[in-house]
Amino acid sequence: MQRIRLRYTKRGRLRFTSHRDFQRAFERALRRAEVPMAYSAGFTPHPKVSYANAAPTGTGSEAEYLEIALTQTRDPQKLRELLDESMPVGLDIIEAVEARTSGLADRLTASVWELRLDGVAPEDAERAVDAFKSADTVEVQRRTKNGMRTFDARGAVASLEAHSPQADRPTDQPCAILRLVVRHVTPAVRPDDVLSGLRAVADLAPPVAAAVTRLAQGLFDEETGTVTDPLAPDREAVTAAPADRTGAAETAAAKASA
């Protein structure tokens, strides 16, 4: 059984698709691309697809991950191309690697988010960010299926910065860009929880809904404060394998000649 790990996006209007909607679209793409999927056992077999930490509905993402199991070996790049052609524009399959290591979900310990706040001046956002970072705890509330829940939104935030829009993204009204790194904790702290925290500590209330995009997710490096690529270990294992086989062949040839 071959395992392939895929990175995909949610862009434009497709950010409003739910995780269930994506599942249906992806399973249709698997059938159209004639991918030799492995299936679960039992009364109602289903394709072996493992989804990892999907972004909330309404948020864009450049870094969503899943893993599929195949009954026949396929070239990951060709498979990626076939699947991407079969997916709606906006739900793009942008990377595929063969799984050579274990624990993909365990390497998704933090996310990098960008929040675009139209109607908010950068200096106002910066003051709110400073107040948020200076607080020991910032309690927010979120409605769950079990009712309202109060939790700390500050502890999960590893970094938070306010910026002005980039030169290639002009705007004719005030606009602030927030860049934050959030650890994956329980209960999960989402970008909208951080916005609720900024409202609580500094009365920052954007006049329109924030445009939220996940830029990356992976293992959080405590020393550098960065989020590493979760597929890097698999790529490194793939590139190291040919060298290992070459070394083994040379050793065997040397023994034979001796």
DSSP annotation of 13 reads G
Is a pLDDT exceeding 80 seen at residue 173? yes
Q: Which pLDDT tens digit goes with each residue over 42-51? A: 888 999 999 9
What are the φ and ψ backbone dihedral angles of 113, each rounded to 5 degrees? -120, 150
- How many angstroms separate the first and last alpha carbons of the chain? 38
Q: Which pLDDT tens digit goes with each residue over 175-200? A: 999 999 999 999 899 999 999 999 99
Other CB atoms within 10 A of residue 113 CB: 24
Provide mean pLDDT across the span 222-228. 93
Give the predicted TM-score (pTM) of the model. 0.88
Overall CATH class of domain 108-227: alpha beta
Of 257 and 159, the one with more pLDDT? 159
Flag the least confident range among 106-115, 132-141, 222-231, 243-252.
243-252
CATH topology match: 2-106 vs 108-227: yes
Residue extents of the structural domains in the chain: 2-106, 108-227
Looking at residue 41, its pLDDT comes to 87
Looking at residue 256, its pLDDT comes to 46
Where does 2-106 sit in CATH, by number?
3.30.70.580
Is a pLDDT exceeding 80 seen at residue 223? yes
Of 24 and 254, the one with more pLDDT? 24
Q: Which pLDDT tens digit goes with each residue over 8-53? A: 999 999 999 999 999 999 999 999 999 999 999 888 899 999 999 9
Q: Decide if 204 contacts 126 (C-beta within 8 A).
A: no
How many angstroms separate the CA atoms of 106 and 230, rounded? 9
Q: What is the mean pLDDT of the chain?
A: 91
How many angstroms separate the CA atoms of 96 and 67, rounded? 9
How many angstroms separate the CA atoms of 235 and 107, rounded? 14
